[in-house]
Amino acid sequence: MSATAHFPTKGVRNIRQLSLDELTQYFETLGEPRFRAKQVWEWLWAKQAHTFADMTNLSKDLRQKLGQHFTLPALTVDATQYSADGTVKSRFRTHEGHLCEGVLIPTEERFTACVSSQIGCSLACKFCATGYIDRKRNIDFDEIYDEVVLLNQQSEKVYNRKLTNIVFMGMGEPLLNYKNVLKAIERITAPDGLAMSPRRITVSTAGVAKAIRQLGDDKVKFKLALSLHAPNDAKRNEIMNINASNDLKSLVEALNYFYQQTKSEITLEYILFNDFNDSQKDAEELVKLYRQIPADLVNIIEYNPIDFAKYEKPTEQRMEEFMGYLAKHRVNARLRRSRGKDIDAACGQLANKEGISS
């Protein structure tokens, strides 16, 4: 069998898309020992090599052959911003020039990477800056892996601490990029990858009921968050187009199924908008909804205004009254304050704005 029988002579296939078995087969076609595959695999994932030249325990000739047969596209940091509160936002560039953003969020106990799953977004939620950007494409699993690696490098550089948590709450809808998100998490949690516990990973969805059920069937170990943001279908339809095909009844049923299959933690995310979903009646409806879902927590989120949307943040008193009602009715809720607002890194603000300092 020749080296070109199953592998192209020109570098047109991304080597990180190969399995370890496929990589082993490749080296066998070259007449190389099988352990070469494990060496390269380690460079690709555990050591995070971004060029074949980095693979210094391979001969120069072998590295050249890899370059002839494969590509090794990787995300690069295009620009970085530092917030006064310690948040770090990075704009990443793909091999063909697309942009996406990720955020490092430091607290006393946690160092969290907020990663993107799509270039832009197709859901067009009215309050979210990413929703005003057309979806260019899904982000591949190895690129999502790169986001985590690059944000971890920033955490180590700036704070001398490794990442402790990952949230899929950046640009895009993770469950509309299902295979790549799950494959990225498999690599992130693998012992020969980043070896992070899946319990420290949260995937946030705007509500794709069919995919939530699929997560249950796939028995995933990571946590799930639902971007709820309204306590009834009428209001949710107004701000989230996805609710027309994934109403609250279908989401309640899907979340219950997910929990039955996985016993994984569920969080409800609820952004407060002034004079829209922040009244006592809204709080009452949220309590009723909460009691239908096996949710561990309701994150009440401070709204971050964006240029394109009409929504505003409620007053402190209004937010406190809302939180007080939830506490009175024994809802496990916490008010999540915005981080990185001064660099457009807060929830709903990621928009690939130009002018970020590199």
DSSP 158: H
Q: Is 128 annotated as a binding residue?
A: yes
| Rounded CA separation 122/135 (Å) | 5
Structure tokens at 261: 């299959």
**Element holding 137 (H helix, E strand):** strand 137-138
Q: Under a CB-based contact definition with an 8 Å cutoff, are residues 221 and 182 in contact?
A: no
Transcribe 192-257 into DSSP letters. Answer: TTT---GGGEEEEES--HHHHHHHHHTT--SEEEEE---SSHHHHHHH-GGGGTS-HHHHHHHHHH
* Residue 100 assigned as binding residue: no
Q: Pick the catalytic residue: 32, 101, 147, 302?
A: 101
Residue pair 349/304 in contact (Cβ under 8 Å)? The answer is yes
| Inter-residue contact 130 to 121 (CB < 8 Å) | yes
**26: amino acid identity, one letter:** Y
Cβ atoms 123, 173 nearer than 8 A: yes
H helices of the chain, in order, are 20-29, 35-44, 60-69, 141-159, 178-189, 209-217, 233-239, 248-262, 280-290, 316-328
* Chain position carrying tokens 């409800």: 268
Could you confirm whether 100 is annotated as catalytic?
Answer: no
Sign of CA dihedral 270, 272, 276, 277: positive
Say if residue 227 carries a ligand binding annotation.
yes
Is residue 155 a known part of a binding site? no
Q: How many secondary structure helices (H) and strands (E) does the chain include?
A: 10, 14
What span, in angstroms and rounded, lies between the C-alpha atoms of 19 and 191? 15
Secondary structure of residue 64 in the 3-state scheme: helix
229 is in an annotated binding site: yes
User: Residue 36: which residues within 8 A CB-CB, separation 6 or more?
Assistant: 27, 58, 62
114 in active site? no
Question: 304: annotated binding-site residue?
Answer: yes
Is 228 assigned a ligand-binding role in the annotation? yes
Helix (H) or strand (E) holding 353: none
Q: Per the annotation, where are the binding residues for [4Fe-4S] cluster?
A: 121, 125, 128
Q: Per the annotation, where are the binding residues for S-adenosyl-L-methionine?
A: 172-173, 204, 227-229, 304
Q: Catalytic residue numbers?
A: 101, 347
